[in-house]
Amino acid sequence: PLAMAAADEHHEEASPLLPPPADEKLPPAQDPVKGCADGVPVVMGEPVAAPDGAAPRESWDSGILSCLGRNDEFCSSDLEVCLLGSVAPCVLYGSNVERLAAAPGTFANSCLPYTGLYMLGNSLFGWNCLAPWFSHPTRTAIRRRYNLEGSFEAFTRQCGCCGGLAEDEERREHLEVACDLATHYFCHPCALCQEGRELRRRVPHPGFYGRSVVVMMPPTEQTMGRAM
């Protein structure tokens, strides 16, 4: 009878309906359920730290009015860019597109249409008012490729206004494209020169890709000697 009573008591203690004794260790708690909601990790229904945001935008290497480049550094190519932008903007635009595309042969496809619009605008209206509509997408492509700060974003940062428009990525990009067009339309030679300086500091000329340089050495002086 004593053995049966002990067995019954042990059975009652082991019953899952009764609370565990104080000296019995509880099983370790399980990890909370983890998942993802819209790409953000979620733990127990609460979002944790969101993934890192986009990299901060960089500033242009030189200002739009820095005709000879930065104040602290002078590059020999900056003078060439300034002269081309003032005298032959069609050549500078074709060179910029060729560097941006990183493929030889795109110079003529860009320079010739620009030249036609340049001559047509000067003939009909007396100034270059048609070519900027054709060339401003290049500025947008440079800004997007190298994550550069646009004119609208720089304006809102300096003036502290229109913060709501700057936070909306889609609306901000539409305004930046409009600012790229306005920059080319009202400051066309300066915009071309700024883009030329930016690309020359970032991208080598595509004509230099994969070309080996052969150096011709003059023959050494030979003397006649008596055979031993």
Does residue 124 fall inside a structural domain?
A: yes
Look at residue 67 and tell me if it is in a domain. Answer: no
Looking at the chain, the whole-number percentage of residues with pLDDT higher than 90 is 43
Angle between helix axes 76-87 and 188-202 (nearest 10 degrees) is 150
Mean pLDDT of the chain: 76
User: Domain for residue 112, yes or no?
Assistant: yes
Full residue range of the structural domain in which residue 183 is found = 74-205
**DSSP sequence for the chain:** -HHHHHHHHHHHHT-TTSPPPTTSPPPPPPPPPEEEETTEEEETTEE-PPPP-PPPPBPPSS-TT-TT--TT---HHHHHHHHHHHH-HHHHHHHHHHHHHT-TTHHHHHHHHHHHHHHHHHHHTSS--SHHHHHHHHHHHHHHHTTBPPHHHHHHHHH---HHHHHSHHHHHHHHHHHHHHHHHHSHHHHHHHHHHHHHHH---GGGTTPPPP-PPPPPP-------
Look up residue 40 and give its amino acid: V
Question: Is 38 inside a domain boundary?
Answer: no
**Across residues 62-86, what is the average pLDDT?**
84
Count of domains forming the chain: 1
212 pLDDT band (50/70/90 cuts)? very low
80 part of a folded domain: yes
pLDDT in tens, 164-206: 777 788 888 999 999 999 999 999 999 999 999 999 999 887 7
pLDDT in tens, 76-122: 788 899 999 999 999 999 999 999 998 777 999 999 999 999 999 99
Indicate whether 176 belongs to any domain.
yes
Asked if the structure places residue 97 within a domain, the reply is: yes
With pLDDT > 70 as the criterion, what percentage of the chain qualifies?
64
pLDDT band at residue 136 under the 50/70/90 scheme: very high
Identify the residue with better confidence: 162 or 139. Answer: 139
* Crossing angle for the helix pair 131-145 and 188-202, to the nearest 10 degrees: 30
Q: What tokens does 137 get?
A: 């997408």
Does a structural domain hold residue 14? Answer: no
